[in-house]
Structure 1
Amino acid sequence: MKRFVTLCVLAMLCMLLAAPGAAMAKKKIKAGFALLWTIDDRGWTTAHYNGIQHMKEKLGDDVEVIYKEKVLGPDAERVFREFAEEGCDIIFGTTFDHMEPILRVARDYPDIKFEHCSGYKTASNVRTYMVRIYQADYLCGYLAGLMGFKDVGTVGTHPIPEPVRGVNAFTLGLQRGLMEAGVEHGETVNTVAWLNSWADPVKETTLAETLIAKNHDLIRQMADTPDSSLAACAADVPAMGYGTDAASWGAECVLSSAMLNWGPYYVKAIRDFQNGTWETGSYWKGFEANGVKLADFHESVPQEVRDKVLAVQEQLKNGQDDIFTGPIFDQNGKKVLAEGERFDDGQLLSMQMLVKGVQGKLAR
């Protein structure tokens, strides 16, 4: 009898111990991603897809992913609603033009979390996220300046804050590198030509070829695809890539690339939801959160230059971001930031001026 009672007590204890574990079992999260273009676009969407794959590798069976390619602004609301009806717990819009559609859908599905990349509007169930790619842009400019490039031609995308910030950061890095290298240069060191598109391979090639014909000594790619870098290589002109590693797509003349690294954020977003710690707001991190990367250096980059660039990268990883610290002048010579002052995040996110040293206009 005692043995029977003992066994019953042990069985009850096992049930009590097992119950909390069962209650704490993590729910498998279903995540939906609306992608701007195809996963093999070699740029913006490829970077997001790489981030999704990283997240899946890290989280394994904790997450189920569905995605749809070529989700442009006009079609985004339909896709978001489909994701919601298909049982997604969290939905990601991965381009600026998804902002208004994601807000409209979020209002109708208050129990679903929504994440919008590169936007600036939030709601109780909508969070925005972006990485500080301008930090990697700055390092690319610094590298170029240290190597003596003083008449860069930039193939830009849209003259809106994100690309404008990148043009300015690259230029500030370029000017610093030229100064440290003791290279004399003219007032203009970076000429930007706007695509007024995120990706247009034909126009990217044409603009790069036009800049090369005007004797610009390096081509700075900022579009979502590497075609401007490829055009530079075809003309034996060095280039700087953007988004992903342009050299991996055949642009062998690229000195380095400013790379978007979305994986760590996607892991964070799913974990936040899973742990009940998800909250609205705006996420904006850089090297300190492994959100951006610098691609491997071209063999022509001297070791001394590599060391200097990596030293600044290490400062950025440690949270020391002095890129937009005064004095800074706009392209007309007006002081927009006094000595020691710095732009706050609000000013950076709304930036609509070009710094001294840039030739180009913001009007579309």
Structure 2
Amino acid sequence: MKKTHIITFITCLVSLAAFCIVFKILNPSVGRDTLKVGFIYDNDESTPYTYNFSLAKDALEKKYGDHVEIFTCSNVLDDEMEEPLRELADKGCDIIFFNGYSEMVKELAPEYPNTQFCQTSYMDMNGVPVPENYHTFKGEAYQGRYVSGIAAGMKIKQMISEGTIRSDEALVGFVAAFPTSEVISGYTAFLLGVRSIVPEAKMKVCYTNTWSSYAHEKSAAMQLIKDGCVILSQHTDTIGPAIACEEASAKKEVYFVGYNQSMSEVAPGSSLVTSRICWEPYVLGAVDAVMNSREIESVVQGSVHGTDIAAGYEFGWVEIVDLNLQVCAPGTQKAMNVAIDKFKRGHNDFVFWGDYTGTDPKNPSDKISLKNGYIENQNTSYPTFHYILDDVIIILK
């Protein structure tokens, strides 16, 4: 090869290398070629909560394909978190997602500064110091609860107008895990959605004192149906309540409003509608941020509070699925759309509002009036409304 050709070839290589460097600097979207991503589930995909969360993993695989290497650990109890966390971090995971409620995630994060730890929020993180590589996130579930409550209210209104029940029999039931603010906020928003259509409606709540027990949840639902509840919903992790409604519907008119996962397959005759948190926007955004060496909170769209993010309908973090057109009342979709449009426009002050007073179940002297309203998720992704509405919500003993 002639000397001039060699010089020209080398010059081209140097120019190409320089171009690639400059191009990458000017185009932050061009980042790492592959990323290791870990998922730790508190249950497995047979339960609605974990199944719903796993949809984000599926979306990640679909978007990035071979550019992400995914590791999954299932059925991890909160007090057994350390081993799987260290295992994934030691494998070199660049980012790890966890859908459980464990302090261990926050405690271990500083030991692995090159890994981003992302946990669904389990407490009010407002003002709580956390490691830079520890993040929390949650969809504003109260929005979906309220909208699904509207669907339930429309059905109850139809049942009253058709003479199936009297107005004083407008009773909804709720199978709840624990009396945490997350659970209380959800079922309160659900009832207020119902009462936006049927102002006389009331609610009975039965706690199971466990997040995931088919037997306990089904038993609680059966008790609520026996007590006269005509529509049930839940904040627990199994299909037990939906099965109870489906079995009871053979003898009486009773309906079910799902959470996290559609219940139309297991309860086709009684399933009315389902609300779910969409974890995909956060997971996809967080992975994109890490892949391109950017801060997660600068990429993911939502209400940012330090390393904590929340969002609702306006950024696609909440949605209603599987409205059963065979059983829902006429005009249900239109009624739900009115509220959804408000949420999408950023209005969120109409849910926890009205001529209501509430009492803190842990401190009876702590009361609240909703005449001036209460803004949920204002400073944190974790729900903070923790009052039982007086005279309209009855807690079963």
| TM bracket, shorter-chain basis | 0.7 to 0.9
Judged with a 3 Å threshold, the aligned counterparts in structure 2 of structure 1 residues 130 and 11 are, in CA distance, closer, same or farther, namely closer
Q: For residue 216 of structure 1, what is the aligned residue in structure 2?
A: 229
Q: Does 1:345 align with 2:378?
A: yes
Q: Secondary structure at the match of 2:80?
A: helix
- 2: CA distance, partners of 1:312 / 1:76: 39
1:217-296 matches, within 5 Å, as: 217-236=230-249, 237-275=254-292, 276-279=294-297, 281-296=307-322
- 2: CA distance, partners of 1:125 / 1:328: 43
Judged with a 3 Å threshold, the aligned counterparts in structure 2 of structure 1 residues 163 and 12 are, in CA distance, closer, same or farther, namely same
- 2: CA distance, partners of 1:340 / 1:208: 31
Following TM superposition, by how much is the alpha carbon of 1:278 offset from its aligned partner in structure 2, in angstroms?
A: 2.5
- 2: CA distance, partners of 1:321 / 1:313: 10
Contact 2:359 2:387 in 1 (8 A): no
Provide, for residues 16-36 of structure 1, a one-character-per-residue CA deviation record: whole Å limited to 9, x for no partner. Answer: 334445785524121111101
Q: Percent identity among equivalent residues?
A: 22
Contact 1:328 1:335 in 2 (8 A): no
1:308-323 matches, within 5 Å, as: 308-323=335-350
- 2: CA distance, partners of 1:331 / 1:351: 10
Q: For residue 182 of structure 1, what is the aligned residue in structure 2?
A: none
Give the superposed CA RMSD.
2.6
Q: Does 1:360 align with 2:380?
A: no
Judged with a 3 Å threshold, the aligned counterparts in structure 2 of structure 1 residues 199 and 340 are, in CA distance, closer, same or farther, namely closer
Q: For residue 67 of structure 1, what is the aligned residue in structure 2?
A: 72
Contact 2:178 2:208 in 1 (8 A): yes
Q: For residue 14 of structure 1, what is the aligned residue in structure 2?
A: 16
Contact 1:242 1:258 in 2 (8 A): yes
Q: Does 1:125 align with 2:133?
A: yes
Judged with a 3 Å threshold, the aligned counterparts in structure 2 of structure 1 residues 167 and 25 are, in CA distance, closer, same or farther, namely closer
Q: Secondary structure at the match of 1:196?
A: coil
- 2: CA distance, partners of 1:340 / 1:94: 30
Contact 1:154 1:219 in 2 (8 A): yes
Provide, for residues 226-260 of structure 1, a one-character-per-residue CA deviation record: whole Å limited to 9, x for no partner. Answer: 21011111110211111111113444411101112
Q: Does 1:136 align with 2:162?
A: no
Q: Secondary structure at the match of 1:256?
A: strand
Following TM superposition, by how much is the alpha carbon of 1:291 offset from its aligned partner in structure 2, in angstroms?
A: 1.3
Q: For residue 104 of structure 2, what is the aligned residue in structure 1?
A: 101
Following TM superposition, by how much is the alpha carbon of 1:110 offset from its aligned partner in structure 2, in angstroms?
A: 2.1
Following TM superposition, by how much is the alpha carbon of 1:337 offset from its aligned partner in structure 2, in angstroms?
A: 2.9
- 1: CA distance, partners of 2:184 / 2:389: 9
Q: For residue 207 of structure 2, what is the aligned residue in structure 1?
A: 194
- 2: CA distance, partners of 1:204 / 1:107: 38
Contact 1:226 1:241 in 2 (8 A): no
Q: For residue 162 of structure 2, what is the aligned residue in structure 1?
A: none
Aligned length: 352
Consecutive unaligned residues of structure 1, counting only runs of 5 or more, are: 180-184
Q: Which residue identity does 1:124 align to in structure 2?
A: E
Contact 1:191 1:358 in 2 (8 A): yes
Contact 1:218 1:239 in 2 (8 A): yes
Q: Does 1:91 align with 2:96?
A: yes
Q: Which residue identity does 1:58 align to in structure 2?
A: K
- 2: CA distance, partners of 1:161 / 1:335: 14
Following TM superposition, by how much is the alpha carbon of 1:346 offset from its aligned partner in structure 2, in angstroms?
A: 4.2
Contact 1:169 1:323 in 2 (8 A): no
Q: For residue 197 of structure 2, what is the aligned residue in structure 1?
A: 177
- 2: CA distance, partners of 1:325 / 1:170: 10
Q: For residue 38 of structure 1, what is the aligned residue in structure 2?
A: 44
Contact 2:42 2:100 in 1 (8 A): yes
- 2: CA distance, partners of 1:53 / 1:46: 10
- 2: CA distance, partners of 1:71 / 1:117: 14
Judged with a 3 Å threshold, the aligned counterparts in structure 2 of structure 1 residues 283 and 255 are, in CA distance, closer, same or farther, namely same
Judged with a 3 Å threshold, the aligned counterparts in structure 2 of structure 1 residues 251 and 58 are, in CA distance, closer, same or farther, namely same
- 2: CA distance, partners of 1:341 / 1:215: 30
Provide, for residues 198-233 of structure 1, a one-character-per-residue CA deviation record: whole Å limited to 9, x for no partner. Answer: 111001111111111112111112211221011111
Q: For residue 307 of structure 1, what is the aligned residue in structure 2?
A: 334
Following TM superposition, by how much is the alpha carbon of 1:303 offset from its aligned partner in structure 2, in angstroms?
A: 3.5
Q: Secondary structure at the match of 1:31?
A: strand
Following TM superposition, by how much is the alpha carbon of 1:332 offset from its aligned partner in structure 2, in angstroms?
A: 6.0
Following TM superposition, by how much is the alpha carbon of 1:9 offset from its aligned partner in structure 2, in angstroms?
A: 4.8
Q: Secondary structure at the match of 2:388?
A: coil
Following TM superposition, by how much is the alpha carbon of 1:287 offset from its aligned partner in structure 2, in angstroms?
A: 1.3
Consecutive unaligned residues of structure 2, counting only runs of 5 or more, are: 158-169, 298-305, 361-366
Judged with a 3 Å threshold, the aligned counterparts in structure 2 of structure 1 residues 278 and 339 are, in CA distance, closer, same or farther, namely closer
- 2: CA distance, partners of 1:248 / 1:314: 29
- 1: CA distance, partners of 2:31 / 2:307: 28
- 2: CA distance, partners of 1:153 / 1:325: 19
